């Protein structure tokens, strides 16, 4: 088995690697993957990008999809997504959940109905989940009210804390519940402080931050500081925190984020799809920062692709090779092993599960695949991450329970059938 310290055991044994934690997921967005790839009408001038397609124009498509979801639809889409994650090598997921209420903004009879749809999808598929109900209060740094299409996301602080209390009572061996502040633009300073003061000492805290240049500029204009700098100066950011994206950092923010002990969740394929930018990986590694990956909007559901393009993006901007390299405890200078050590080191911090629980989440790679012909301990991980596009995960275990067999989730056909019916209904008009 491969561990962050290298291979352990007979070289001829099964090739077993730790399952990978997906640190950032919006499950409902799996239903719209590939459906926002047409140029918008430049005359609409949507968002800070004016006439250019960007995150802000993509968001219009997302809002239209978000308005159509019911708890049953969310369950069907999330189950399909989580089965795909398990087949690809993700064994745990941090679900950043803001689709709380009915489309008109009124709470369901059970205010936790949408959260429970996600919990049930995780239970049905067997994936380990950290559910992160989102506090979403305002439509911008100027604290404007939420727009009509954002109403189903919104909470007051008291209702949000009640939701957290309700869901925390349902935690079990494969479910943790953390806190999620959508972003600095969506949570004003006073409510942020109130929520943080009310959390249990061990609660994980996730937040979108510094994803787009326009967000950085707006934060500077209203709060007088860049987003990450403002957060570090106004909250006790530590190892409980996961900063999602943190794409646009200056030198001091890179250094101080690393010193804080927080984890950065890098979502390479989504950041590329949205045109957000590239995280300063090499500088962050040099500063000793913790990081992991997430599939975010699920334009891709593959940890291999996230890690591969995390490295490749750095190669493209530096015009060099083998950027994400740090020598391991066993003396390895492999890019692939550096990346695998990175995601392993952040899993416990971001998910809230302890090391003993995560030790039961493993992947068995298909050692008979052509990509591994003649492979040795020295190159097995690099071949997995940097060779071809065939999925090389043969089996996946969560808490010691096998959920993927011969590359297929145990309930793949039934889950896919329900997903197909649900998606056709969502797209009916």
* Residues annotated catalytic, as ranges: 245, 296
Q: Which residues contact 29 (CB under 8 A, 6 or more apart)?
A: 62, 65, 296, 297, 298
DSSP state, residue 297: T
Alpha-carbon distance of 194 to 196, in angstroms, equals: 6
Sign of torsion, CA 304 132 112 138? negative
Closest CA to 178 of 122, 242, 126: 242
Tokens matching residue 76: 């069907």
CA 358 to CA 347: how far, in whole Å?
Answer: 8
CA gap 351, 335 in Å, rounded: 24
Contacts of 178 (CB under 8 A, 6+ apart): 94, 130, 131, 132, 203, 204, 205, 206, 352
Residue corresponding to tokens 């959260």: 115
The torsion of the CA quartet 238, 240, 244, 249, rounded to 10 degrees, works out to: 10
The angle at the Cα of 180, spanning 175 to 185, to the nearest 5 degrees, equals 165
Give CA–CA dist 35/426, Å, rounded: 13
């Amino acid at each position: 088995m491969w561990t962050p310290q290298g291979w352990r055991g007979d070289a001829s044994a099964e090739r077993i690697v730790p399952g990978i934690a997906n640190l950032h997921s919006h499950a409902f967005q799996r239903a719209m993957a590939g459906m926002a790839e047409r140029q918008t009408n430049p005359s609409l001038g949507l968002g800070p990008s004016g006439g250019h397609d960007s995150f802000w124009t993509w968001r219009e498509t997302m809002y239209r999809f978000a308005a159509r979801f019911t708890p049953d639809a969310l369950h069907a889409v999330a189950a399909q997504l989580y089965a795909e994650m398990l087949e690809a090598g993700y064994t745990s997921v941090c679900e950043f959940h803001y689709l709380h209420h009915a489309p008109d903004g009124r709470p369901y009879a059970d205010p936790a109905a949408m959260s429970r749809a996600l919990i049930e999808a995780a239970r049905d598929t067997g994936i380990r989940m950290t559910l992160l109900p989102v506090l979403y209060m305002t439509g911008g740094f100027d604290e404007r009210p939420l727009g009509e299409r954002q109403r189903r996301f919104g909470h007051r602080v008291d209702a949000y804390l009640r939701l957290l209390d309700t869901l925390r009572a349902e935690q079990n061996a494969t479910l943790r519940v953390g806190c999620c502040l959508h972003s600095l633009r969506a949570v004003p300073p006073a409510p942020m402080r109130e929520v943080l003061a009310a959390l249990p000492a061990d609660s994980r805290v996730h937040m979108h931050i510094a994803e787009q240049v326009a967000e950085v500029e707006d934060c500077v204009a209203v709060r007088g500081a860049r987003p990450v700098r403002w957060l570090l100066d106004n909250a006790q950011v530590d190892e409980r925190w996961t900063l999602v994206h943190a794409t646009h950092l200056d030198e001091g923010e890179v250094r101080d984020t690393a010193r804080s002990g927080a984890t950065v969740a890098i979502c390479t394929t989504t950041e590329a799809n949205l045109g957000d930018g590239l995280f300063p990986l090499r500088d962050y590694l040099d500063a000793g920062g913790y990081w992991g990956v997430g599939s975010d909007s699920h334009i891709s559901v593959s940890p291999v692709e996230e890690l591969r393009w995390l490295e490749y993006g750095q190669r493209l901007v530096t015009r060099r090779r083998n950027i994400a390299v740090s020598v391991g405890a066993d003396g390895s200078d492999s890019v692939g092993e550096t990346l695998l050590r990175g995601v392993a080191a952040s899993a416990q911090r971001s998910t809230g599960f302890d090391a003993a629980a995560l030790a039961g989440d493993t992947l068995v790679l298909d050692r008979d695949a052509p990509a591994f012909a003649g492979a040795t301990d020295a190159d097995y991980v690099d071949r997995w991450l940097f060779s071809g596009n065939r999925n090389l995960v043969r089996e996946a275990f969560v808490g010691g329970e096998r959920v993927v067999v011969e590359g297929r989730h145990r309930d793949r056909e039934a889950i896919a059938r329900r997903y197909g019916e649900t998606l056709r209904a969502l797209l009916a008009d």
